[in-house]
Amino acid sequence: MSRTALRICPLCEATCGLTLTIEGTKVTGARGDRDDVFSKGFICPKGASFGAVDGDPDRLRTPLVRKDGELREATWEEAFDAVAAGIRPVVERYGANSVGVVLGNPNVHTMAGALYPAVLIAGLGTRSLFTASTVDQMPKHVSSGLLFGDANAIPVPDLDRTDHLLLIGANPLESNGSLCTAADFPGKLKALKARGGALTVIDPRRTRTAKLADRHIPVRPGTDALLLAAMTHVLFDESLVDLGELGPHVEGVDELVQAVREFTPEAVAEACDVEAALIRTLARELAAAPTAAVYGRIGSCTVPYGTLASWLVDVLNILTGNLDRPGGALFPQAATDRTPRPAGPGHGFQLARWHSRVSRHPEAKGELPLSALAEEIDTATDEGEPIRALVAVAANPVLSAPDGDRLDKALDALDFMVSVDPYLNETSRHADVVLPPPPPSQSPHHDFAFNTLAVRNQVRYTRAAVPLEPGRMAETEILARLTLAATGMHGADPGAVDDLVVGQTLGKAVKDPHSPVHGRDPRELAAQLTGDTGPERRLDMMLRLGPYGDGFGARPDGLGLARLLAAPHGIDLGPLRPRLPQPLKTRSGRIELLPKPIVDDLPRLREGMRQRTDGLVLVGRRHLRSNNSWMHNVPALTGGTNRCTLHIHPEDAERLGVRDGEPVRVKGAGGEVTAPAELTDQMRQGVVSLPHGWGHDRPGTRLSHAAADPGVNVNQLLDGSLLDPLSGNAVLNGVPVEVAALPAR
């Protein structure tokens, strides 16, 4: 007998609603849920393989604990005992900063990852926090922090209504979008064109997205900030600036005129390898469009001028009056956001409140660069203790961060490491304790993070589609117990963590004059919370306190968990709406167009105008049927075009004597790798591409399918020294490499 159950897909940022077919406890099929208020039936090949991802026989079923040097199956009790015994002595002897925390990408795809890590970090009191954000989008957080005073206030392009989309360093036809949650991104781009809109793509590769565009500009990698600065220059030069409704909310326009004065199209054209006339055209088209949105992603962030490029993306949106208006780029309003406070000056955003111990990298958003993790473990200084114990949650930095070989060795030297991970992989194999979460079918789901980045306001929640298998523990409980074990409360009831958060949150809300529960008794409110579990009660609390919430009775027709459960396909909350000035939290209460840290970084960009690279540079790429480092173990999603090959332009190949399919050696500052060449004129000349997340050939892992076709780790070509200075983000694109043909094997 088979049945169906709904499950929001956690396999990328698009958050599609799926209808799963379930036989017994096994997911045997997945299709798009046509009634889903957001995704309306869309599904991609990854979502369609949900069952295979979920049922991968290599997923760990029990905790592993190292005994006599070997990882062995253990009980949950043994595992948490080992965590407490491993972490507490390190904290007590060397201090909180000697315990590092590494949070990987899947934390934004689980409820556990949204609800517990903050409690763990606060409880530990450590500043040694590293996340996937610093190999990804930290430049965007920093630019939003500086412009709007809130690192999480990220405007998203209004895909459904815009007339003109300028897309920079993103390939949503393969990635399905990022920092812009939209189910069926490809369909939305096609609809844009069908309604007469224009799509411009800036990317050194002629990607599937670029092929859809009206105009594709194969920019030289790493030079987007110059191109965007020149577009800004043109807007001023040709009097095309029109702030529209934004006028009263913006300061620094006159200063910006001066700041971009030197960046004429003529001055940047050679560095970018884009003709000056074309740069002028791009600026004019952007200004002339009835509505337009500029949107940048990985290719604009993971580069030397990542923060400047991210800042200029929004500068262009602002100067053309497109920020915060329908058809432009708007701030979503999620159901679990805090109740909006009235507009006014805020605390502002601060950078560099502390620094990393070894290379003195400034913190950003409370994080240190993931690129610096290895040296923070393996290098002694007089400044303080190195990291001696590590908590890794859903993270595989050995493959995802620069110089995995060094990190590999560093992890081995730790006193203690715990990984919360479903796989024994390149990183978790170093752990002394591995705590495996259940597969996604056995976990409830709500997108706390992605709903704040969605192109339409909506809210959805799906309970676990399959009950927890005997012997399994919910990831929320794993993280709650881990938090207790790591913070000296080992063995306490995991519900205590939720009670603590509920108590603190409600305690604050009742004192806040703008909260719908101002003046009420927090215990009385806590008693009203509904839900079967601690995480559900916390979701209920956030919904009820949120912008659409029932305010615990203050707005009886508002949202709460019960109403959400009664709407299994989700609740649509309408299109994005203008919200300014409310989201601004700068000290001035306005958009600070030319913040000081940006001013201080502009001389570096001026230098960039004069820099030239003659050798080859490397960029990355993503494949539709993959996801970073952890989906190469699913046979249904590997093979075909999803392979770890070096894309190279035929003329570059000819010059180097490289032949299609034959092995080439690629050498960078951090090391070298050998991969088969794949000749394609989709590459810009002078640029080669390798995908990331490969290199599954290390001993001691349990990834049987991935190990059979391991690929190579592109990040081994990096030595971790190249960073965007403001954000600490790793430079992963536009990296100089040498390529040489090898004799065929």
> CA–CA separation, 532 vs 349, rounded Å?
38
In what helix (H) or strand (E) does residue 99 lie, and over which residues does it extend?
Answer: strand 99-103
Give 46 or 472: the residue with its C-beta nearer to ligand SF4.
Answer: 46
User: Which of 283, 185, 202, 297 shows the shortest CA–CA distance to 241?
Assistant: 283
129 binds ligand MGD (CB under 6 A): no
> CA–CA separation, 147 vs 125, rounded Å?
29
- Report yes or no: 597 and 353 within 8 Å, Cβ to Cβ: no
Distance of closest approach, residue 184 Cβ to ligand SF4, in angstroms: 8
174 binds Mo ion (CB under 5 A): no
715 binds, among ligand MGD, Mo ion, ligand SF4, none (CB under 5 to 8 A by kind): ligand MGD
- Report yes or no: 358 and 372 within 8 Å, Cβ to Cβ: yes
181 binds ligand SF4 (CB under 6 A): no
Longest dimension (CA), the chain: 76
Please say whether the dihedral angle defined by the alpha carbons of residues 518, 519, 525 and 526, taken in this order, is positive or negative: positive
- Report yes or no: 400 and 627 within 8 Å, Cβ to Cβ: no
Distance of closest approach, residue 9 Cβ to ligand SF4, in angstroms: 3
Looking at 49, 128, 143, 171, which residue binds ligand MGD (CB under 6 A)? 171
Give 327 or 620: the residue with its C-beta nearer to Mo ion.
Answer: 620
Give 136 or 158: the residue with its C-beta nearer to ligand MGD.
Answer: 136
139 binds, among ligand SF4, Mo ion, ligand MGD, none (CB under 5 to 8 A by kind): none
- Report yes or no: 147 and 591 within 8 Å, Cβ to Cβ: yes
Q: Report residue 719 as tokens.
A: 């030595």
Q: Report residue 362 as tokens.
A: 């400034």
> CA–CA separation, 240 vs 631, rounded Å?
47
User: Which of 650, 652, 616 shows the shortest CA–CA distance to 734?
Assistant: 616
What is the DSSP-derived secondary structure letter of residue 419? E
- Single out the segment in contact with ligand MGD by CB under 6 A; choices: 201-209, 335-343, 445-453, 649-657: 201-209
In what helix (H) or strand (E) does residue 390 lie, and over which residues does it extend?
Answer: strand 389-393
Partners of 143 in beta bridges: none
What is the DSSP-derived secondary structure letter of residue 530? -
715 binds ligand MGD (CB under 6 A): yes
Give 54 or 601: the residue with its C-beta nearer to ligand MGD.
Answer: 54
User: Which of 164, 422, 373 shows the shortest CA–CA distance to 284?
Assistant: 164
157 binds ligand MGD (CB under 6 A): no
Number of Cβ atoms within 10 Å of the Cβ of 57? 9
- Report yes or no: 27 and 51 within 8 Å, Cβ to Cβ: yes
Give 205 or 544: the residue with its C-beta nearer to ligand MGD.
Answer: 205
Give 16 or 87: the residue with its C-beta nearer to ligand SF4.
Answer: 16
Looking at 20, 47, 441, 443, which residue binds ligand SF4 (CB under 6 A)? 47
User: Which of 476, 375, 463, 466 shows the shortest CA–CA distance to 420?
Assistant: 476
136 binds ligand MGD (CB under 6 A): yes
Distance of closest approach, residue 183 Cβ to ligand SF4, in angstroms: 6
| β-pairing verdict for 433-435 and 64-67 | antiparallel
| β-pairing verdict for 250-251 and 156-157 | unpaired
For ligand MGD, the binding residues in 404-433 under the rule CB under 6 A are 420-423, 425
9 binds, among ligand MGD, ligand SF4, Mo ion, none (CB under 5 to 8 A by kind): ligand SF4
For ligand SF4, the binding residues in 270-299 under the rule CB under 6 A are none
The interface mask with ligand MGD, positions 608-647, x = CB under 6 A, is: -----------xxxxxx-xxxxx-----------------
11 binds, among ligand SF4, Mo ion, ligand MGD, none (CB under 5 to 8 A by kind): ligand SF4
Give 16 or 250: the residue with its C-beta nearer to ligand MGD.
Answer: 16
- Report yes or no: 414 and 99 within 8 Å, Cβ to Cβ: no
Over the Cα atoms of the chain, what is R_g? Answer: 25
Give 14 or 722: the residue with its C-beta nearer to ligand SF4.
Answer: 14
Give 107 or 356: the residue with its C-beta nearer to ligand MGD.
Answer: 107
337 binds ligand MGD (CB under 6 A): no
Looking at 136, 158, 403, 536, which residue binds Mo ion (CB under 5 A)? 136
User: Which of 160, 49, 167, 18 shows the shortest CA–CA distance to 640?
Assistant: 49
What is the DSSP-derived secondary structure letter of residue 361? P
Distance of closest approach, residue 272 Cβ to ligand MGD, in angstroms: 10
104 binds ligand MGD (CB under 6 A): yes
43 binds ligand SF4 (CB under 6 A): yes
9 binds ligand SF4 (CB under 6 A): yes
Give 183 or 364: the residue with its C-beta nearer to ligand SF4.
Answer: 183
Please, where are the H alpha helices in 95-135? Answer: 111-115, 117-124
14 binds, among ligand MGD, ligand SF4, Mo ion, none (CB under 5 to 8 A by kind): ligand SF4
- Report yes or no: 99 and 389 within 8 Å, Cβ to Cβ: yes
Nearest residue to ligand MGD on Cβ basis: 299
The footprint of ligand SF4 on this chain (CB under 6 A) covers a number of residues equal to 12
The residues that touch ligand MGD, with contacts defined as CB under 6 A, are 12-13, 104-106, 110, 132, 135-136, 168-172, 174-176, 178, 202-205, 207, 219, 221-222, 224, 297-300, 303, 393-397, 400, 420-423, 425, 437, 475, 619-624, 626-630, 692-693, 714-715, 732-734
The residues that touch ligand SF4, with contacts defined as CB under 6 A, are 9, 11-12, 14-16, 43-44, 46-47, 176, 183
The residues that touch Mo ion, with contacts defined as CB under 5 A, are 136
